[in-house]
Structure 1
């Protein structure tokens, strides 16, 4: 009986550590994405996704109506590359909430966006990822954007 309990504890520890390491790998992927984003590194940005994914953004327009904007990832990469080098921008991630199930993961990352060292907007990113061989690839990205109600998460 003592050996059964020890075996159970050992196996449970292995499963928890495996889940934690996958969670950390997803987090590292998101951090790498934003490092490439800030450096305008289009080669790395293109390597981080599976195909030309659709990106969506949810915001409120001037009339107070919810608006869904869609763009292709390739257009997003072109837009990032076209930002003049003398312009500064930073998306500051405030937290990570990551869920992993096998080869699928979701990362929820509240953020603040700063342009030219001035606060622009806040919101949350929701990344969907899949594990392909030994790396996590982004397969979907949706965010929210707002100027009001921004707070530290």
Structure 2
């Protein structure tokens, strides 16, 4: 009989831990979704609210001779370039899936994406977000992405 109580206790404890983990994963995912909502709206204030003041950005592209090249970009430069896009041009980064890992106040989200420009496929790749939980809020502290045009299976325009 004691074994049944211990088993029930362990199952209950495991479900509490699992629920807490799922809530944190949902909060990380929501942070990234909010980031892209602000990105698409060109809302500079919201874009700054979702990141830590020390955010770092990098991109991996392929050079003309086929070699991978690492680019660094200041977050201010990214935000400035986004807000300067004319309203006549439509851009959309579509997140295809999420793989989120969390350990305490640190999270990583690996997100496959497609980038569309004026309803035409432009490129695909992966984002790797590093987040830090500060004052009960997930903040993006690092973002690196890949960009390529080969080996992409583009979906249909929206």
Hey, what's the Cα distance between the residues in 2 that align with 1:54 and 1:106?
14
CA deviation string 1:19-40 (max 9, x = no partner): 0110111011111000000000
Q: Deviations over 1:48-97 (max 9, x none)?
A: 11114221000101111111111111111111111111110000111100
Give every structure 1 segment of 4 or more consecutive aligned residues whose post-TM-superposition deviation is greater than 6 Å: none
**Alignment-derived partner of residue 111 in structure 2:** 109
Match of 2:151 in 1: 149
Over aligned residue pairs, what C-alpha RMSD do you find?
1.3
Identify the residue that residue 99 of structure 1 maps to in structure 2.
Answer: 101
Report deviation, 1:107. 0.3
SS of alignment partner, residue 63 of structure 1 = coil
How many equivalent pairs are there? Answer: 153
Match for residue 71 of structure 1? Answer: 73
Alignment of 1:32-111 (within 5 A): 32-111=34-113
Runs of 5+ unmatched residues, structure 2: none
Do 1:52 and 1:73's aligned partners in 2 also have CA atoms closer than 8 Å? no
1:9 aligns with 2:11: yes
Looking at structure 2, the residues matched to 125 and 132 of structure 1 have their Cα atoms a distance apart, in angstroms, of 22
TM-score w.r.t. length of structure 1: 0.96
Q: 1:128 aligns with which of 123, 127, 130?
A: 130
Unaligned ranges ≥5, structure 1: none
